[in-house]
Structures are given as C-alpha cells and as structure tokens.
Amino acid sequence: MALWLEENPVQRAGLARRAASLVPAVRAGIRYGLRSGALALNDSTLTAAKPKIENNDIMLSAEVDHILARAGYVGGWFALAGSPSGIYALWRVKP
C-alpha cells in the first residue's frame, strides 16, 4: 500500500473530502446491515459474509457481484497493510 500511495499522491490528497461525502451513506448501510444480520459487531470489529445462495433462490446482479468482489479485494489489501494505526499513518489521516 505504501508504494501505491507514493505512486498515487492525488488519491491520498483527496481522501478526506471523498470520505466525508460518503459518511451518511456508509452509516446508513452499516445500520441496515446490523439490523438485517448481514453484519455483526464483535469486540469493535465489524464482520460480514457474502450472501449465501441456496438453490438459486437469490440471484445477485452483475453489478452487486462486482461490488462484492472489489470490496473483498480492497479488504484483503487493507488486511495485509498492517495495523490500523499504520494504515492511518500511510494515508496521513487521523481516526
């Protein structure tokens, strides 16, 4: 992640503005996920699983499937990037 951020300084520079604009939608999504059981909060850790599809009762649209795949990629990237405090430092933001 550190190398990518050095190669993409504009992404780091615009993070605060982009993140602030997403707060209402993300907050609503987390609340909905917690209420519906799609998300769980355990020891300050938010966890989720890809919806289980049984007998093809639920068909995900190509767009939703793409979003889930990309979210998994980004989540994996952050998981390998180090501690939360280290990630904040790389992005030069404060929690």
Give the CA distances from residue 26 to residues 7, 11, 37, 84, in Å, rounded to whole numbers and listed in that order. Answer: 27, 19, 16, 19
Q: Which pLDDT value is given to residue 52?
A: 63
pLDDT at 55: 57
**pLDDT, position 26:** 93
Res 89 pLDDT > 70: yes
Residue-wise pLDDT for 6-62, tens only, equals 999 998 888 888 889 999 999 999 999 898 888 888 888 888 876 665 655 566 788
DSSP-derived secondary structure for 4-62: HHHH-HHHHHTHHHHHHHHHHHHHHHHHHHHHHTSEEEETTEEEE-PPP--TT-S---H
Domain count, the chain: 1
Residue 66 structural domain: 2-91
What is the structure's pLDDT at 29?
92
